Structure 1
Amino acid sequence: MTDDPSQEHISSRIPVSERLFILKDDLSEDFVRASGPGGQNVNKVSTAVQLRFDLAGNETLPQDLKTRAAKLAGSRLTQHGEILLQADRFRTRERNRADALERLLELLRKAAERPKPRKATRPTLGSKKRRLEAKKQRGQVKKLRGRSARPDE
């Protein structure tokens, strides 16, 4: 390990995409007991991971990405602005840690995709005519449902 503090900062980066990264300092992990596979080991060892990412306190991601990430996180976003992910699919801590981190990075990658802006278009003349024709036909059908005239009147 080098004594250069700039190298330490680089190693604490976790790449999200080519241009984006998060810092390990923005992550925290808690280990809890998991349900699922593991036999009696489940009752003894805390292998499930609760990964917390401080989205509100993060300074490396742009604000628009944070907003989209918060929306994508949904109920996984805490009141303190943290994304909380729980991983307990695997029997080992290491695999659950990797799974939780990969899910977080996938969520951030998805949030990094800017939504395509909608371009307003006008309806074509043909579509207007078809719509009006359909309305006329529908009106005719409804008109024919009226009461029939009595023969004695």
Structure 2
Amino acid sequence: MLQINDQLRIPLEEFEWSYSRSGGPGGQNVNKVASKATLRWNFYASPSIPGPLRPRLQMKLANLLTTEGDLVLTSQLYRDQPRNREDCLTKFANILRRALIVEKPRKATKPTKGSVRRRLTDKKIQAARKKTRSEKSFED
């Protein structure tokens, strides 16, 4: 069981794993061993997501899901398969934790009277400065 938070747990049986050869360090071993881990998890088919969390997750994960609804993560950071597999699970948990955070709604505020006054005086000063630049003298 992968514990995301106190509301969400995902059984490891829902993940599909595939392995392939990875690039990076490892010398000749890289050409022989399939150490790159690819995690595939189908969001739409997952029974583990509670009803109230599903719409929020769907909205937040929309850019990461394939057209079939799969979330695909890869890791080739390490030279061995089990550590890359753990890295994929860590990435997955972090993505879901970030997606579950409820953002506070922004409250619209008015500018203070002092800031409005300062802005307008700065505009007048800038306008006067530009006006003096463009004044031409026709004394011949």
TM-score, normalising length: structure 2 = 0.88
- Quote the sequence identity (%): 36
Mapped to 1, the partners of 2:59 and 2:10 lie a distance apart of: 16
Mapped to 1, the partners of 2:133 and 2:14 lie a distance apart of: 68
Counterpart of 1:38 in structure 2: which amino acid? Answer: G
CA positional deviation for 1:79: 2.1
Q: Which runs of 5 or more structure 2 residues have no equivalent in the other structure?
A: none
Task: Please tell me the root mean square deviation across aligned C-alpha atoms, in Å.
Answer: 1.6
CA positional deviation for 1:70: 3.0
Q: Name which structure has the greater RCO, CA cutoff 8 Å, separation 6+.
A: 2
Mapped to 1, the partners of 2:112 and 2:32 lie a distance apart of: 68
Counterpart of 2:108 in structure 1: which amino acid? Answer: A
The 5 A counterparts of 1:4-153 are 13-61=1-49, 62=53, 63-71=55-63, 73=64, 77-152=65-140
Q: State the number of aligned residues.
A: 136
Structure 1 residue ranges, 4+ long, deviating more than 4 angstroms after superposition: none
Note the alpha carbon deviations across 1:54-110, whole angstroms, 9 max, x for none. Answer: 123334331202321334x3xxx3222211111111111111111111111011111
CA positional deviation for 1:26: 2.9
SS of 2:108's equivalent in the other structure is coil
TM-score, normalising length: structure 1 = 0.81
